[in-house]
Amino acid sequence: MCQDHPNWTGNARTPALRPNGPWRAVGSDRIERDARRARTLDAESLGASTRVDSVAAVELVRVADRPTYRVSFFGAPGAGSHDASAHTVRRRAFVDAATGAVRPPLTRDEAIATAKAAYVGSAPVTDVSLLTADSVGTHHEFREQPLPAWAVRFGDEEGATAYVPAELGEVLRIRNDRWRLFDFLWMLHTMDYEGRDNFNNLALRAFSVLGLVTVASGFVLFALTSPPLRRRMMDKAPVAAAARTLS
């Protein structure tokens, strides 16, 4: 979840609702017609090293200030191979809406420009790095997000970093020092010290059982030490002894 910050536009805080600029004004019939054309993309047009099994979605977005189709498809590496044993994953590709040419993922300069477009402050960019699956661990603040992604850090007092997935072309997450403190406290709350987001971890279940045992033992201890209950038990003891004597 993105932190609200006065230096970020509303589009950056809610990337799922980000408008696509003037391209939303294009008629729906035009978009659907072009989307159907984009769905005919094959392995040759998306790259010689890609096998396309099916197209999942076609979105019209702006990449590097150009109208671009973001095509989500299921495919696998293999130079067009149709080996059923190949691992099929969801992938994305950019297709220029004007020329129909497939363009590569975001470059470093394009990621910086995208992050700056969402940033309305005056702080400069202090660091840019490309995150991959090898560099993002289970405790990373951009964990479980699309990779590869560009991390664009700004030199403001909040320590803000904008994360721009190279195959999405937009700012997906913004992290700052307040969010990092929240994330640390969230880890303590979930007691997941490996991935931070798993509520079903062994430590939490063990402490849950321990809590139930503690509560149950409290009721038992109350019953054994409560003065009213002890007096009632003591009053019943002579009656029970007399009954045994008579019997």
In tens, the pLDDT along 139-148 reads: 899 999 999 9
What's the mean pLDDT in 166-183? 94
**What crossing angle do the helices spanning 227-246 and 202-225 adopt, rounded to 10°?**
60
What's the mean pLDDT in 58-80? 81
Task: Out of 63-77, 104-118, 146-160, pick the least confident.
Answer: 63-77
Strand pairing report for 161-165 and 173-175: antiparallel
Residue 94: alpha-carbon gap to chain centroid: 22
In tens, the pLDDT along 126-166 reads: 999 999 999 998 889 999 999 999 999 999 999 999 999 99
1-9+105-199, what's its fold?
A: Nuclear Transport Factor 2; Chain: A, (3.10.450)
The structural domains of the chain, with segments of one domain joined by +, span: 1-9+105-199, 201-247
What does the DSSP assignment read for 170-236? Answer: S--EEE-HHHHHHHHHHHHHHT-TTTS--TT-HHHHHHHHHHHHHHHHHHHHHHHH-HHHHHHHHHH
Q: What is the residue type of 69?
A: Y
